[in-house]
Structure 1
Amino acid sequence: MQTFIVLGSILMAIAVAVGAFGAHMLKSKLEPDKLKVYEVGVQYHLIHALGLIGVGLLSGQYPESGMIEAAGWLMFAGIVLFSGSLYVLSLRRVRLLGPITPLGGLCFMAGWVLLALGVL
């Protein structure tokens, strides 16, 4: 489905920009532990944006499987919840977002499982 290829490509561009921002603008402004949290968010953002592109490519080969589309939306939700909450947690002292991060991780895991099942 081209939606996931386009979404993944846009999210890759955003991840590169966010990563560059962290490396160049935040390195001297954030405490090392906060910078590490930020970098983990970027890493997962990049990996799962690539995953979305893969979902888009696979969905054309397995059009009958709704699991592949569900996997894509779960990966997208994971980027927003997991990486997004880590970005905010590293830049602001918003402890309320702490419980959201694991929900994003669960979305990532469920997305990969559904992708595998959809191909099977």
Structure 2
Amino acid sequence: MFKNLIITSFLGMFAIILGAFGAHALKEVLTPDQLSSFETGVKYQMYHVLVLLFVNTFEGFTLKQKNRISYMFFVGILFFSGSIYALQLTSITAKSIWFVTPLGGLFFIIGWLMMLTVFVKKNVKNLK
């Protein structure tokens, strides 16, 4: 569990650094559309860092559930936000990695679905 919190803390710190970098250093380099896209990557990273903090400190999840959900969100951040950063900061084109961003989104959805499944099962169990 602490491994997940260490990774989460790093990703949170990195989101703040990237957000500041985007707001200051990239303002003069990227077009408004590119900057908006970059900011979307930062926002989704930070949203999922907050969810990861919840997942890994919530006592209602087993360690196995925490690890599985965390993995989905870690990979989602890497693929979704990471591909957006790569597209905006390098010469990589969307044509070459078109599938990576939606794949990251799919990992986010799976992570949320896994959380939903745990909560629904606990609710059904409590109703019996």
Structure 1 length normalisation: TM-score?
A: 0.89
3-state DSSP of counterpart to 1:94:
coil
User: What is the identity, as a one-letter code, of the residue corresponding to 2:71?
Assistant: W
Bigger CA radius of gyration: 2
How much has 1:61 moved relative to structure 2? 3.2
If asked which structure has higher relative contact order (CA below 8 Å, sep 6+), I would say 1
Partner of 1:63: 62
How much has 1:53 moved relative to structure 2? 1.1
User: What is the identity, as a one-letter code, of the residue corresponding to 1:80?
Assistant: L
* Count of paired positions: 118
How much has 1:57 moved relative to structure 2? 1.0
Deviations 1:15-61 (A, max 9, x none): 00011001010011101111111000000010111111111112x43
User: C-alpha distance in 2, partners of 1:62/1:51?
Assistant: 13
User: C-alpha distance in 1, partners of 2:109/2:65?
Assistant: 13
**Contact residue 55 and residue 61 of structure 2 kept, 8 A:** no
How much has 1:116 moved relative to structure 2? 2.0
Structure 2 length normalisation: TM-score?
A: 0.84
User: What is the identity, as a one-letter code, of the residue corresponding to 1:2?
Assistant: F
- Any runs of at least 4 consecutive aligned residues in structure 1 with deviations exceeding 3 A, and if so which? none
Structure 2 stretches lacking a partner, 5+ long: 123-128
**More displaced stretch, 47-56 vs 89-98:** 89-98
**Would you say 1:5 and 2:5 are equivalent positions?**
yes
**Contact residue 38 and residue 88 of structure 2 kept, 8 A:** yes
**Contact residue 55 and residue 69 of structure 1 kept, 8 A:** no
User: C-alpha distance in 2, partners of 1:62/1:113?
Assistant: 14
How much has 1:92 moved relative to structure 2? 2.5
